[in-house]
Chain A
Amino acid sequence: MSGRQNEPAPPTAVEKEDRGSERQRSRAAAAWLRRQVRPVRAWHGLAVLCGLGAGIATIVEAAALARAIGRAADGLWVEAGRVLPWLLLAILARALLVWGQERAGTEASARVRHRLRLDLYRSMARLDRREEEGGTATLTVRLIDQVEALDGFLSRYLILSPLAGLVPLLILIVSFSQNWVVGALLLLTGPLIPLFMILIGLGAEQASRRQSVALAQLGRRFLDRLGGLTTLQLFGRVEPEAAALTAVADDFRRRTMAVLRIAFLSSTVLEFFASVSIALVAIYLGSVYLGYFHMGAAADGISLETGLFLLLLAPEYFQPLRAYAAAYHDRAAAVAAAGDLMPLAPAEAAGPGDAVPTDRARIDAAPSLRAEGALAVSLRGVTAGHDGAPLLDGVDLDIPPGGFVAIVGPSGIGKSTLIDLLLGFVPPRSGRIAIGGQAPLAARGRVSWLPQRPALVSGSIRAVIARGDPDAPAAALVQAGEAADVTGFAAALPRGLDTPVGERGFGLSGGQLRRVALARALLKPAGLLLLDEPTSDLDPVAERRVLETLRRRAGAQTIVMVTHSAAAAAHADRVYRLEQGRLSPLAGPEATP
């Protein structure tokens, strides 16, 4: 494909407008993040306290070192040695406190990440989103990688940001108490601290946001092409595509560097002031010692010890700011991740379309409730789907216990929505649904289901089927396998029914996987069997066998089958066509071809 895709284009007016709302979004994401952090406030407090303690220890250390050298300069070598225990104590305390700061920060981060992930999992598992939305990759990226991406923010940034204000303030106070000129020097060179913060903040955040967006685009393109490598190979387009990837990456690098050249200036300014303040302090003190001038000095001048102390403090004054600046990208990364995570979070998740069944746990408690026979199904004026274009529009349907109904219609017309309604995953916008006289949610324990794309397929073939009824005897399991035409192909596998299924196991074909899921659906003792395309991907022989099984099941179980296949529909008692939100009876079995 041409090299012009995915290029970060120069901002248009629309984009500039977008940037305003983007800032709003990022502010909302930051606020959400801070709410997540509340439960670990104690750990964060501890970390900040440790950091503050380490700052104090640093001052003591500088004082001890200055005294030792100062005494030595006066020729008092032994007195100088007496300071050593203090020095060692300060160093030890500082090392311990630094360790404590990191440990506490880590602990806070670990706790928040774990809890947040579980919250998000619960809400995602509860959202009952349609299966098409969010592939495996998106899901795991969000719940694993993006939650982990919060680590830097949680364990470092949140601690370094108060310390960047507190520790310099402490050092400033101490410096002023020793010498007002040096204090003023620090105050002038550094303290534009808030100004620095803004400088770093604006420059770094904007640059890092723009860069991370572009980098993500670049990464997506790479992922896209790498994932489709087989197609590129088949079309003989590997090398042209490799060249295009290189060109895009090169172009991206050039643009990024142009941005960074300016963005890095803000941190360079910080570096510069840090260096300059050391130089200025040294030159000022030297000038005082040489008698150049006396401003800020007491009548007897400044002692060497005080001078050294002030000199040692100067770099420490800037250190917390530098650490904060270095951690700043953690915030940008976390805000970006939070922007994606926030919509999934429990509190914000409940939109009008995603009404959440709350009493699922109760149903889960009795999963293997024995069926008391086939269930009647009744729909009265059921409407579902979006406001403008309802997928179902006042549908009425009555199925007697043991009835076998097929529903046909073009794809995307709402057939799967109907199944979602019958399972109680989605409430109807209006109208009533009763299964065996109960609401769908309450009846779910007695309803079995073959999804269009089975997802719960880890473990062996046997284990997948057994989920239908964990208490079923082995013979019943094999029987269900036979009914769904599983045993036929399983016999050819070296490990038979114990063959592992799924991503890492033996690659079962789509049709085989569906038959395994069908066996599971048949095994569950249910009064209503919902089947979403039970015969798609099946060849005619397998299809016939499966349909014959269903025919035999009808009567003992009520069956609702959504299908494309004319052959499948021919096996049902009644066939309905779903079109423009309405169900119209097609014919009985005698009328279908």
Chain B
Amino acid sequence: MSHPLIRFLGRTGEGRRGLILAVLIGTVGVLAGAALLGLSGWFIVATALAGSLASFNVFTPSAGIRTFTLLRTLARYGERLTGHDGTLRILAGLRLWFFRRMAALQPAQRGFERSGDLLNRVTADINALDTVYLRSYAPAVQVLVSLLCLALLGWTVGFLPPWLPLLAAALALGLPLLVFRASAAGGRVQADATAALRSALVEGVQGARELAVFGGEAAAAARVAAQSARLVGGSRDTARAAALGAGVVLLGTRLLAVLVLVHGLAAGQAGMAGVGSGLLALAVLATLGLLEPLGTLPQMGQSFARAARAAENLEAVAAQTPLLPEPARPLPLPPRPDIGIHGLTLRHGPDLPTVLDGLDLHLPYGVHAGLYGPSGEGKSSLSQALLRQIPLTAGRITLGGVDLADLSEADLRRGLSYLPQTPTLFDGSVADNLRLAAPDADDAAVWAALDQVELGDLFRARRDGLDSWVGEGGLRLSGGEAKRLGLAQMLLRAAAVTLLDEPTGGLDRDLAERLMPRLHAAFAGRTLVVISHQPEDLAGCGWVGRLQAGRLVVERTEACSGRGADLPS
């Protein structure tokens, strides 16, 4: 089994190339830096010992020094650029991957709709992953190359014990592990405390007025304080590990350099052939230069710990298998999609009550049906089942005789449209939001739909007209206005079957009574299902049923036979 972080590398898309390039260029930079330091040291000692121009070739080493200087500078610049480019590509790749993964799931599996925090958390997790490759793989490669060079150096100078590079390797390996373990523990505390703090804050701030009326402000504040202390404590533990890492890396690399010095001194004292002080200076300084990348290891351990947790979180969400996968061999949507419900039973979990109990229903194409009943008695569950968003506990649903499960996603969505209780408005213009429902609608059609729901004048009065921004950072629409915009979407879509969930919620009674007949007229010849807790909304429906205790009671069935017009295919 591979680590999630390694699996995520496969999902980084085009960013990988930039990443590899950044690592390579960065490694060149590190080596050039070490070479610059080592060569400079050797140069000084050698010139000091040579003592005169005649016996010394000054050009080669000084040319080397100049080359390494330039190389190091350019490499750092190149590393930064390619690294940032790669990181941005990785971020885009990861987001796209996650977006597509989530799109394959059912709403309940995503859980975003219920919790905005969850949504924030997954995006934070994705963001935590974008830099991890640069911050952990790059140092890892650089450290590895440096260690190889150290071994090479030892072999070249001759006086270094062979275990010295191994010692360095042990330090390079142990250090991130040390920090990683402490960081991971601190990170777990942080994640835990963050979740608890979040709910304490929501309760304390959003519930502040309720706390004022019902008491318990002091207890709420104490909860916030305790969780904040835990959160800060967790980050303190993580930082403590990083500080220890920084101290240890300094101590370790310097002691290794001292070991090089000691061995050089011993070899020189023993009169070992070829060991001069020039070589000694080169060895010590180059060792210091080569061990420089180890300085990034504590940080690497820290960012690795955070990224590993993020990767696990994301996988836990993304690894779910779609509850209702698309059929392998889809059947086409029939032109007259009668709705058929046969023995439908719904239960959201094994220990939860039955929501719908053996429901049977036949709605011929073209009927306008109304469904009402007490809140929480299965109206929403029924519409979710019709939309193929939840698995059926028992029974089946057909559209024009074809099982819902056999329709392709594209066909199903084309044939069936749905207005939720609280329609989602996207960050964009009014036109953008409406064209989301009907990409080909022209301006005239968009205005006509807005006028139908009595929103036309609101936007005509605005400077930007159809380009008025709604959603976050835009015009703040009230719940009722958002609902009417959703209705306009339904009108533009004009699907064969349209489901409206509480279409008049948040609307004044007068407006609701003007709107409903218009909707019936607009959808004449097509199927309209209105779900409401207000029986008044269902006055224009030819078929009305009441849902109660999981059963359906049909209350009205006038003109319930195929009034539907054939759909253009």
Per the bound structure, the CA–CA distance linking A491 and B113 in Å amounts to 27
Does any Cβ of A come within 8 Å of B133's Cβ? no
- Whether the pair A96, B268 counts as a contact (CB closer than 8 A) is no
Does any Cβ of B come within 8 Å of A23's Cβ? no
Per the bound structure, the CA–CA distance linking A36 and B254 in Å amounts to 38
A102/B262 contact (C-beta < 8 A), A304-B48, A520-B214 known: no
A236/B85 contact (C-beta < 8 A), A91-B251, A220-B427, A227-B119 known: no
- Whether the pair A77, B269 counts as a contact (CB closer than 8 A) is yes
For B, the interface residue count at a CB cutoff of 8 angstroms equals: 160
- Whether the pair A242, B205 counts as a contact (CB closer than 8 A) is no
- Whether the pair B208, A125 counts as a contact (CB closer than 8 A) is yes
A95/B251 contact (C-beta < 8 A), A1-B432, A257-B81 known: yes
One digit per residue, 1 when the CB lies within 8 angstroms of any chain A CB and 0 when it does not, for chain B 59-70 equals 001100110111
One digit per residue, 1 when the CB lies within 8 angstroms of any chain A CB and 0 when it does not, for chain B 200-217 equals 011111111111111111
- Whether the pair B73, A1 counts as a contact (CB closer than 8 A) is no
Q: Which residue from chain A places its CB closest to the CB of B190 in the assembled complex?
A: A148
Q: Which residue from chain A places its CB closest to the CB of B103 in the assembled complex?
A: A238
Per the bound structure, the CA–CA distance linking A286 and B117 in Å amounts to 63
- Whether the pair A455, B202 counts as a contact (CB closer than 8 A) is yes
Contact of B117 among A61, A109, A114, A137 (CB under 8 A): A137
- Whether the pair A275, B69 counts as a contact (CB closer than 8 A) is yes
One digit per residue, 1 when the CB lies within 8 angstroms of any chain B CB and 0 when it does not, for chain A 366-382 equals 01100000000000000
Does any Cβ of A come within 8 Å of B352's Cβ? yes
- In the complex, what's the smallest C-beta–C-beta distance from A349 to chain B, in angstroms? 13
Does any Cβ of B come within 8 Å of A180's Cβ? no
- Whether the pair B88, A279 counts as a contact (CB closer than 8 A) is no
Does any Cβ of B come within 8 Å of A451's Cβ? yes
- List of B residues within 8 angstroms of A144 by Cβ: 194, 197-198, 201, 231
- Whether the pair A451, B44 counts as a contact (CB closer than 8 A) is no
- In the complex, what's the smallest C-beta–C-beta distance from A65 to chain B, in angstroms? 7
One digit per residue, 1 when the CB lies within 8 angstroms of any chain A CB and 0 when it does not, for chain B 117-130 equals 10110111001000
Q: Can you offer 15 A-B residue contacts whose CB atoms are under 8 A? A: A65-B261, A95-B247, A114-B228, A136-B117, A140-B201, A223-B123, A227-B424, A236-B409, A252-B88, A268-B77, A275-B72, A282-B39, A289-B47, A290-B50, A367-B214
- List of B residues within 8 angstroms of A230 by Cβ: 107, 110, 113, 389, 420, 424
A242/B47 contact (C-beta < 8 A), A131-B206, A229-B112, A449-B213 known: no
- Whether the pair A114, B43 counts as a contact (CB closer than 8 A) is no
Q: Which residue from chain B places its CB closest to the CB of A470 in the assembled complex?
A: B215
- In the complex, what's the smallest C-beta–C-beta distance from B38 to chain A, in angstroms? 11
Does any Cβ of A come within 8 Å of B509's Cβ? yes
- List of B residues within 8 angstroms of A432 by Cβ: none
Does any Cβ of A come within 8 Å of B437's Cβ? yes
Does any Cβ of B come within 8 Å of A554's Cβ? no
- List of B residues within 8 angstroms of A225 by Cβ: 99, 426
- In the complex, what's the smallest C-beta–C-beta distance from B316 to chain A, in angstroms? 15
A246/B96 contact (C-beta < 8 A), A220-B472, A286-B62, A290-B56 known: yes
Does any Cβ of B come within 8 Å of A542's Cβ? yes
A537/B418 contact (C-beta < 8 A), A145-B124, A224-B426, A233-B413 known: no
Per the bound structure, the CA–CA distance linking A470 and B220 in Å amounts to 15
Per the bound structure, the CA–CA distance linking A492 and B120 in Å amounts to 34
Per the bound structure, the CA–CA distance linking A128 and B242 in Å amounts to 41
One digit per residue, 1 when the CB lies within 8 angstroms of any chain B CB and 0 when it does not, for chain A 225-249 equals 1111111111111101010011001
- Whether the pair A268, B509 counts as a contact (CB closer than 8 A) is no
Contact of A222 among B95, B218, B436, B471 (CB under 8 A): B95
One digit per residue, 1 when the CB lies within 8 angstroms of any chain B CB and 0 when it does not, for chain A 65-95 equals 1001110110001101100100110011011
- Whether the pair B80, A264 counts as a contact (CB closer than 8 A) is yes
One digit per residue, 1 when the CB lies within 8 angstroms of any chain B CB and 0 when it does not, for chain A 421-435 equals 001010000000000
- List of A residues within 8 angstroms of B568 by Cβ: none
- List of A residues within 8 angstroms of B115 by Cβ: 503
- In the complex, what's the smallest C-beta–C-beta distance from B471 to chain A, in angstroms? 7
A539/B533 contact (C-beta < 8 A), A95-B248, A128-B209, A494-B351 known: yes
Per the bound structure, the CA–CA distance linking A507 and B73 in Å amounts to 59
Does any Cβ of B come within 8 Å of A285's Cβ? yes
Interface hit among B371-379, B390-398, B517-525: B371-379
Interface residues of B in 520-564 (CB under 8 A from A): 533-535
- Whether the pair B114, A141 counts as a contact (CB closer than 8 A) is no
Does any Cβ of A come within 8 Å of B168's Cβ? no
Does any Cβ of A come within 8 Å of B135's Cβ? no
- Whether the pair A136, B73 counts as a contact (CB closer than 8 A) is no
- Whether the pair B265, A242 counts as a contact (CB closer than 8 A) is no
- List of B residues within 8 angstroms of A95 by Cβ: 247-248, 250-251, 254
- List of B residues within 8 angstroms of A77 by Cβ: 265, 268-269
Interface residues of B in 484-541 (CB under 8 A from A): 489, 493, 506, 508-509, 533-535
Name, among A109, A276, A308, the residue most crowded by chain B CB atoms within 10 Å (CB to CB). A308
Contact of A267 among B80, B95, B228, B243 (CB under 8 A): B80
Does any Cβ of A come within 8 Å of B89's Cβ? yes
- List of A residues within 8 angstroms of B240 by Cβ: 103, 106
The majority secondary structure among interface residues of chain B is helix
A81/B265 contact (C-beta < 8 A), A99-B243, A230-B113 known: yes
A494/B418 contact (C-beta < 8 A), A117-B228, A228-B424, A234-B387 known: no
- In the complex, what's the smallest C-beta–C-beta distance from A364 to chain B, in angstroms? 5
A242/B80 contact (C-beta < 8 A), A99-B247, A292-B53 known: no
Interface hit among A7-15, A158-166, A398-406, A508-516: A508-516
Contact of A61 among B41, B98, B244, B254 (CB under 8 A): B254
Interface residues of B in 464-494 (CB under 8 A from A): 471-472, 478, 480, 489, 493
- Whether the pair A512, B269 counts as a contact (CB closer than 8 A) is no
- List of A residues within 8 angstroms of B534 by Cβ: 540
- List of A residues within 8 angstroms of B84 by Cβ: 256-257, 260
- Whether the pair B281, A69 counts as a contact (CB closer than 8 A) is yes
Does any Cβ of B come within 8 Å of A199's Cβ? no
A271/B264 contact (C-beta < 8 A), A1-B426, A98-B247 known: no
6 A-B pairs with least C-beta separation: A367-B215, A511-B375, A99-B247, A102-B243, A73-B277, A456-B207
- List of B residues within 8 angstroms of A540 by Cβ: 533-535
A458/B203 contact (C-beta < 8 A), A451-B210, A566-B509 known: yes
Per the bound structure, the CA–CA distance linking A70 and B265 in Å amounts to 11
- Whether the pair B89, A228 counts as a contact (CB closer than 8 A) is no
Does any Cβ of B come within 8 Å of A358's Cβ? no
Per the bound structure, the CA–CA distance linking A321 and B374 in Å amounts to 69
- In the complex, what's the smallest C-beta–C-beta distance from A143 to chain B, in angstroms? 5
Interface residues of B in 372-430 (CB under 8 A from A): 372-376, 380, 387, 389, 409-410, 413-414, 417-418, 420, 423-424, 426-429
- In the complex, what's the smallest C-beta–C-beta distance from B203 to chain A, in angstroms? 6
A509/B375 contact (C-beta < 8 A), A224-B427, A467-B216 known: yes
Per the bound structure, the CA–CA distance linking A257 and B86 in Å amounts to 10
- Whether the pair A364, B212 counts as a contact (CB closer than 8 A) is yes
- Whether the pair A425, B204 counts as a contact (CB closer than 8 A) is no
- In the complex, what's the smallest C-beta–C-beta distance from B243 to chain A, in angstroms? 3
Per the bound structure, the CA–CA distance linking A283 and B65 in Å amounts to 8
A253/B471 contact (C-beta < 8 A), A72-B264, A222-B123 known: no
- In the complex, what's the smallest C-beta–C-beta distance from A316 to chain B, in angstroms? 11
- List of A residues within 8 angstroms of B138 by Cβ: none
Q: Which residue from chain A places its CB closest to the CB of B479 in the assembled complex?
A: A411
Does any Cβ of A come within 8 Å of B91's Cβ? yes
- Whether the pair B53, A87 counts as a contact (CB closer than 8 A) is no
- Whether the pair A125, B215 counts as a contact (CB closer than 8 A) is no
Contact of B112 among A227, A307, A312 (CB under 8 A): A227
Q: Which residue from chain A places its CB closest to the CB of B229 in the assembled complex?
A: A114
- In the complex, what's the smallest C-beta–C-beta distance from A245 to chain B, in angstroms? 7
Q: Which residue from chain A places its CB closest to the CB of B427 in the assembled complex?
A: A224
- In the complex, what's the smallest C-beta–C-beta distance from B94 to chain A, in angstroms? 10
Contact of A219 among B123, B209, B471 (CB under 8 A): B123
Per the bound structure, the CA–CA distance linking A136 and B116 in Å amounts to 7
A410/B269 contact (C-beta < 8 A), A136-B206, A449-B213 known: no
A272/B284 contact (C-beta < 8 A), A242-B100, A423-B209 known: no
